Amino acid sequence: MKIYVPGDSAAISVGADAVAAAIASKVAGSTIIRNGSRGALWLEPMVEVETDKGRVAYGPVSVEDIDSLITADFMHGGAHKLSLGESEKIEWLASQDRVTFKRVGIIDPLSLADYEAHGGLVGLRRAISMSTEAIVEEVKESGVRGRGGAGFPAGIKWKTVADAVSDQKYICCNADEGDSGTFADRMLIEGDPYTLIEGMTIAAIAVGATEGIVYLRSEYPYAIKILQKAIDIAHAFGWLGSSVLGSKHAFELKIRVGAGSYVCGEETAMLESIEGKRGVVRAKPPLPALEGLFGKPTVINNVLTLSTIPAVMADGAAAYKARGVGRSLGTQVFQLAGNTKRGGIVEKPFGISIEEVVNGYGGGTLSGAPIRAVQVGGPLGAYFGIDKFETSLDYESMLAAGGMLGHGGLVVFDDSVDLAQQARFAMSFCALESCGKCTPCRIGSTRGVETIDLIIQGVKVDENKKLLLDLCEVMTDGSLCAMGGLTPMPVKSAMINFPEDFTGEVSRR
């Protein structure tokens, strides 16, 4: 009898380990599988049981519920107050369009058999049968864009690396998922690590790289453990190593654990960190695609980008790009967090509105108070009020609205939020995480905090608001990387969309 209890960090954080242990001790003959989380985080720990009609879900399950679940014969899908019905029919999940996350939560993360049974390795096998040019062409054709935030077309980046002449090339996966309110990279690695490995292997074959590095943040100990096991298994299986699945291609994969710096998620700072140096941003050019890790041509893609590649290769570019709107093709893995009733992973084609995610999937705030603002795209993303909720979540529309999609995180705030404090937080976050290389970010962020403090205190409000806007321009146009360059986005969006919070008066509402 197979019982699924997620081994994902989010599930563990709400007691999944204890639940798994309790079931193991109380349900004789059970085989417990620690799958990834399906992403409906408010239902975690979500326990699933394999029955004749498929998997049946219960959640959120606590240790105290186990006895009553046993009494209700949950092992055979018996009814219980925590019953969620057949897993596949849970509306919140069933209404999504899972491409990148299609196996997450479903399979045993480290079972290669399970992986293959659910369509794994199809893309890689197809890639091996193709010319490297054709792989790059297929990825270009699919329209997949970088999911890390910048949205640069992956195929074009790959082409640059493929065309570069060098004795050594690298694939670097950026898994330094530092944006507040984002967790998709982690959930994918913990729930379906082979997909990332497959995506990186395809990238390596396509551009002629033989070494890959996953830069994985130290704050993700479970992900590190699972990915390392997956790499070891893939190696033993003959997928990684001197001959990928028996082909002429060689590919070795390693994990490099970060050391707690947000800016190391910036691609060039990440390269410095992998090289063993201080995590400091490099000036571009040279592009990392031409002179990246150790000065060699390097593909740097985010976990979600690389993990989307197996699906693109398995189903073809046409199937992928049939989804989405405009130049934002395929699906985006949205991560809904903050003050929300139903947080988690929402994978939908680009073009879904903020409203549909925040109120549709999220169901409003957890506190029950009205939503006042949503920050889209991480700590450097813009704050939107409900008047902007019809905005389509795609790269171009977000840009037009003065924001960005970033890594796809949406953080919900109710009406108790003070946007001046949030603007201050943006500056202080930058001050805390700035690498300290360029002047606008290094000094500007601290001056930003000080200036917003004066505004909050009501000191020379108009003068300081002007100074703050001037500073925002210097940081936006003068900073070396996106860290300093985007910090003004939450600040300015807060000032523009919520001017009433910047009057310097204590009781503004």
Q: Is 275 in the site for other proteins (CB under 8 A)?
A: no
Task: State how far Cα 357 lies from the chain centre.
Answer: 16
Distance of CA 412 to the CA centre of its chain: 17
Q: Which is nearer to other proteins, 304 or 420 (CB)?
A: 420
Site string for other proteins, 233-272 (x = CB under 8 A): ----------------------------x-x---------
Backbone angles phi, psi at 124, to 5 degrees: -65, -45
The distance of closest approach from Cβ of residue 263 to other proteins in the complex, given in angstroms and rounded to an integer, is 8
User: Which amino acid is present at 421?
Assistant: Q
Q: Which is nearer to other proteins, 15 or 295 (CB)?
A: 295
Q: Contacting other proteins (CB under 8 A), which of 479, 487, 493, 497?
A: 479
Contacts with other proteins in 285-304 (CB under 8 A)? Answer: 285
Quick check: 451 binds other proteins (CB under 8 A)?
yes
- Looking at residues 420 to 439 of the shown chain, list those that interact with other proteins (rule: CB under 8 A): 430-439
**Dist. CA 82–CA 219, nearest whole Å:** 32
SS3 167: coil
The count of chain residues that interact with other proteins, using the rule CB under 8 A, is 38
Nearer to other proteins, 46 or 264 (CB): 264
* 129-137, 150-158, 180-188, 449-457 -> range binding other proteins (CB under 8 A): 449-457
Q: How far is the CB of 437 from other proteins (least distance, A)?
A: 5
We find the least distance from the C-beta atom of residue 438 to other proteins, in angstroms, to be 5
Q: How far is 309 from 422, CA to CA, in rounded Å?
A: 36
Among 39, 199, 349, 440, binds other proteins (CB under 8 A): 440
Q: Which residue lies nearer to other proteins by CB, 113 or 156? A: 156
- Within 10 A of 463 (CB to CB), how many other CB atoms are there? 12
Judge whether 57 and 5 are in contact, CB under 8 Å: no
Query: Shortest gap between Cβ of 408 and other proteins (angstroms)?
Result: 24
Query: Which residue, among 475, 509, 507, 505, has the nearest Cα to 490 in the 3D structure?
Result: 475
Shortest approach of other proteins to residue 391 CB, angstroms?
23
Could you give the CA distance from residue 157 to residue 493 in angstroms, rounded to a whole number?
31
Q: Among residues 270, 255, 169, which one has the least CA distance to residue 220?
A: 255
List C-alpha distances in Å: 156 to 119, 143, 146: 26, 10, 11
C-beta closer to other proteins: residue 89 or 277: 277
Question: Which of 91, 167 has the CB closer to other proteins?
Answer: 167
Q: Residue 23 or residue 264: which is nearer to other proteins going by CB?
A: 264
- DSSP annotation of 359 reads I
- Minimum CB distance to other proteins smaller for 409 or for 448: 448
CB of 51 or CB of 428, closer to other proteins:
428
* 128 or 430: CB nearest other proteins: 430
In the list 232, 275, 470, 505, the residue contacting other proteins (rule: CB under 8 A) is: 470
Residues 326-385 that bind other proteins (CB under 8 A): none
From 275, 313, 312, 315, select the one nearest 295 (Cα to Cα).
275
283, 322, 400, 496: residue in contact with other proteins (rule CB under 8 A): 283
Count Cα atoms within 13 angstroms, Cβ side, for 333.
32
Single out the segment in contact with other proteins by CB under 8 A; choices: 42-50, 161-169, 373-381, 450-458.
Answer: 450-458
User: Which of 178, 148, 194 lies closest to 36 in space, CA to CA?
Assistant: 194
First-to-last C-alpha distance (Å) of the chain: 58
Q: Where does residue 272 fall: left (phi above 0), alpha (psi -120 to 50 degrees), or beta otherwise? A: alpha
Cβ proximity to other proteins, 109 vs 444, nearer residue: 444
Interatomic CA distance for residues 423 and 439, integer angstroms: 20
DSSP state of 248: S
Single out the residue of 467, 369, 385 nearest to residue 427, CA to CA.
467
Applying CB under 8 A, among 454, 461, 503, 508 the residue interacting with other proteins is 454
Identity of the residue, 210 or 439, whose beta carbon is nearer to other proteins in the bound complex: 439
Determine the Cα–Cα distance for residues 20 and 66; give it in Å rounded to an integer.
10
Judged by CB under 8 A, the residue of 447, 461, 503, 508 near other proteins is: 447
- In sequence order, which residues have a C-beta less than 8 Å from that of residue 195 and are 6 or more positions away? 100, 103, 115, 120, 188, 307, 310
The CB-of-486 to other proteins minimum distance in angstroms stands at 13
Contact 382, 359 (CB under 8 A): no
Exactly one of 67, 133, 275, 477 binds other proteins (CB under 8 A); which one? 477
Nearest distance in Å: CB 441, other proteins: 8
Which residues of this chain interact with other proteins, rule CB under 8 A? 261, 263, 278-280, 283-285, 430-447, 450-451, 454, 467, 470-471, 473-474, 477-480
